[in-house]
Amino acid sequence: MTKPTNITWHETSISKENRREKNGHGSCALWFTGLSGSGKSTIANAVSNELFRQGISEYVLDGDNIRHGLNKDLGFSDYDRTENIRRIGEVAKLFVDSGKVVTTAFISPFRSDRDQVRALFEEEEFIEVFVQCPIEECERRDPKQLYAKARRGEIKDFTGIDSPYEAPEQPEITLHSDQVTIEEAVEQVLTYLRGKNII
Ligand SMILES: Nc1ncnc2c1ncn2[C@@H]1O[C@H](COP(=O)(O)OS(=O)(=O)O)[C@@H](OP(=O)(O)O)[C@H]1O
Ligand SMILES: Nc1ncnc2c1ncn2[C@@H]1O[C@H](COP(=O)(O)OP(=O)(O)O)[C@@H](O)[C@H]1O
């Protein structure tokens, strides 16, 4: 890849702070991470629904959907996962700049990739939400029957089976999705946002 030259960063006249002021709330990225089937999409969507209901400007970036469009050229090699997360991180940053609370639901298995995304943001704008669930329970749920396929050898490099998942060391929020209901998990996230005066 050749790096382009002669490009200049343009400051826009309307700032992130202007947009936050207009919206009447802060903006941030709620970065859900966890195994397939842990509940990232379910909880991220439920959080967004509740924010929407409360009149907060929100958006959901979901793994499967982004992989149908923006990242349809990427697979599940370590390199492709890193590039997947890098691009999503940049998109999430744009949403935060636009004044929204953006929820993202990607496995994002590598700690260094998540840390690279965190580094794109200002302090307290990036909120790592670890959806912690034992793999046995994820495999029991198996909402897309992917664990079954991975066990049969029909999917290679499946996270938790033959591709690693590096759990966050100091996530802002940990949701034990095998112990709390979806509603309780949503409330835990909203309580955090209220505590930080984001909403
Ligand atoms: N090999 C392999 N490993 C893990 N997951 C796989 C794989 N192949 C397909 N899928 C499906 O793709 C979804 C994960 O995509 P992500 O973009 O979140 O993955 S990653 O963050 O780049 O690791 C994941 O979605 P979730 O189940 O919602 O996590 C799966 O449905
Ligand atoms: N407490 C819970 N939190 C989240 N999901 C739960 C919970 N209990 C059961 N589930 C179920 O587990 C599955 C999680 O799937 P999904 O949200 O697609 O996970 P992921 O996006 O992490 O792959 C869904 O079928 C959901 O209904």
CA 143 to ligand 2: nearest atom: 25
Query: What is the C-alpha to C-alpha distance for residues 99 and 89, in angstroms, rounded to an integer?
Result: 16
In a domain, 24, yes or no: yes
Give pLDDT tens digits for 147-193: 999 999 999 999 999 999 999 999 999 999 999 999 999 999 999 99
Query: What is the C-alpha to C-alpha distance for residues 175 and 192, in angstroms, rounded to an integer?
Result: 12
Distances (CA, A) of 6 to 3, 9, 10, 136: 10, 10, 13, 52
Residue 78, token pair as written in the block: 């370590």
- The enclosing domain of 113 has a CATH number of 3.40.50.300
In a domain, 145, yes or no: no
41 pocket-lining for ligand 1 (C-beta < 6 Å): yes
Instruction: Please state the pTM of the whole predicted model.
Output: 0.97
Going by CA atoms, what residue is nearest to atom 27 of ligand 2? Answer: 42
In a domain, 80, yes or no: yes
Going by CA atoms, what residue is nearest to atom 18 of ligand 1? Answer: 106
Catalytic residues: 108
Give pLDDT tens digits for 102-123: 999 999 999 999 999 999 999 9
In a domain, 152, yes or no: no
In a domain, 151, yes or no: no
146 pocket-lining for ligand 1 (C-beta < 6 Å): yes
Q: Which residues does residue 102 pair with via DSSP β-bridges, in sequence order?
A: 29, 59
Q: Which domain holds residue 100?
A: 16-134+165-195
Q: Which residue has the tokens 């946002």?
A: 193
The interface pTM score, or ipTM, of the predicted complex is 0.98
Name the domain count of the chain: 1
Going by CA atoms, what residue is nearest to atom 15 of ligand 1? Answer: 63
